[in-house]
Chains A and B, each alone.
Chain A
Amino acid sequence: MKSAVVQLPGLNRDRDMIAALTKISGKAPITIWQTETDIPDDVDLIVIPGGFSYGDYLRCGAIAARMPVMQAIRDKADKGVKVLGVCNGFQILVEAGMLPGALMRNSSLKFVCKEVKLEVVNADTDFTRAYEKGQVLRCPVAHHDGNYFVDAETLSGMEDRGEIVFRYAEGTNPNGSLNDIAGVMNSRGNVLGMMPHPENLIEAAHGGNDGRGIFASALDVIAATA
Chain B
Amino acid sequence: MKTNRSAGPGRFSSSNLGVGSVIKAHVTVTLKNGVLDPQGKAIEGALGSLGFSGVGHVRQGKVFDLELEGADKAKAEADLKAMCEKLLANTVIENYTIALD
A binds B: yes
Q: Which residues of A contact B (CB under 8 A)?
A: 58-59, 62, 66, 94-95, 100-102, 104-109, 147, 149-151, 176
Cross-chain contact of B39 among A66, A95, A105 (Cβ < 8 A): A105
Q: DSSP majority for the A interface?
A: loop
Q: Could you tell me the distance between the alpha carbons of A102 and B87 in the complex, rounded to whole angstroms? A: 14
Known: A62-B87, A102-B92. Contact between A149 and B35, CB under 8 A?
Answer: yes
Contact of B36 among A66, A101, A147 (CB under 8 A): A147
Query: A104 contacts B42, CB within 8 Å?
Result: no
**How many residues of chain B get a CB closer than 8 Å to chain A's CBs?**
11
Inter-chain CB contacts under 8 Å: number: 37
Further 7 A-B residue pairs, CB within 8 A, beyond A104-B36, A105-B38:
A58-B88, A59-B90, A62-B87, A108-B38, A147-B36, A149-B93, A176-B36
- Contacts of A94 on B, CB cut-off 8 Å? 92
Which of chain A's residues has its CB closest to B86's CB?
Answer: A66
Bound: A106/B86 CA distance, A: 24
Q: Is the CB of B92 within 8 A of A107?
A: no
Q: Tell which of A101, A104, A107 has the most Cβ of chain B within 10 Å.
A: A104
- Find out whether the CB atom of A107 lies under 8 angstroms from the CB atom of B90: no
Q: Which residue of B lies closest to A100 (CB)?
A: B92
Q: Please list the 3 inter-chain residue pairs (A to B) with the smallest Cβ-Cβ separation, ordered nearest first.
A: A102-B92, A102-B93, A107-B38
Among B38, B39, B88, chain A packs the most CB atoms within 10 A around the CB of B38
Instruction: Name B38's contact: one of A58, A59, A106 (CB within 8 Å).
Output: A106
User: Which residue from A59, A109, A147 sits with its C-beta under 8 Å from B42?
Assistant: A109
Q: Which of chain A's residues has its CB closest to B42's CB?
A: A109
Once A58-B87, A62-B87, A102-B92 are accepted as A-B contacts, the answer to whether A107 and B39 lie under 8 Å apart by CB is no
Known: A102-B92, A102-B93, A150-B92. A107 touches B36 (CB 8 A): yes
- A70 vs B39: C-alpha distance in the bound complex, in angstroms? 30
- Bound: A107/B37 CA distance, A: 8
